[in-house]
Amino acid sequence: MKDQFPIFSSHPDLVYLDNAASVQKPHVVLDAVQYFLTHEYANIHRGAYALALQAEERWRSARKTIATVL
C-alpha cells in the first residue's frame, strides 16, 4: 500500500496518519490531476467553448462519484 504514495519513497520510515488538514495523495490521483491540468484544464461555469464544457462535465462526473460514495 505504501508503494502507491510517492512521499514514502523519499521518506521510507515516515509514519503518516491522515487528518482533516492534509492528506497524502497516491500516484493515481497525482497522475490524474497532472493530466487534467496539462491537457484539459479550463474554467468551469464560465465558458461556452468545448474545453470548458469538457472540464465542467468532468467536474459533474466527479461530484456524482463522490455523492455515490458518501
> Cα dist. 21→17, 33, 43, 47, 58 in Å?
11, 19, 26, 32, 25
The stretch 26-31 carries a mean pLDDT of 95
Q: What is the dihedral of CA 1, 25, 6, 15, to 10 degrees?
A: -60
Helix (H, G, I), strand (E, B) or coil at 50: helix
So what's the pLDDT on residue 62? 92
% the chain with pLDDT above 90? 77
Average pLDDT along the chain? 92
For the chain, the domains span 2-69
| Side chain identity at residue 69, one-letter code | V
